[in-house]
Amino acid sequence: MGWKDSSVNDTREDLVNHPPHYKYGNVEILDIIKEKSKNTRMSHYEFGIWGQMIQYLFRFDLKGDWETDLKKARFYLDALIKEENQRK
């Protein structure tokens, strides 16, 4: 049961830890979010909104319904704009 033939390549996609719709080349969305978090003036709330938006933009052409993902990204963009306007 615990034995694995090392001569067999396991090419299954890791949909939990490394989903392909959140990865381009060697760059994953989490890498981008982590780097952005090191240099931002956004509040924690705004950064959360930005993170949601960027995920939908990152994957819209690779997963599910592209139009729905773009509308969700726009929803978060509108929320981020609203937050920025309230800070002024």
The full set of domain ranges for the chain reads 28-87
Render pLDDT for 19-60 as a digit per residue (tens, 0 to 9): 777 777 888 889 999 999 999 999 999 999 999 999 999 899
Q: What is the pTM of this model?
A: 0.75
Please provide residue 28's backbone torsions phi and psi, each rounded to the nearest 5 degrees.
-110, 155
Helix, strand, or coil here: 27?
A: strand
Residue 11 predicted with pLDDT over 70: no
Q: Which residues contact 56 (CB under 8 A, 6 or more apart)?
A: 69, 70, 72, 73, 76
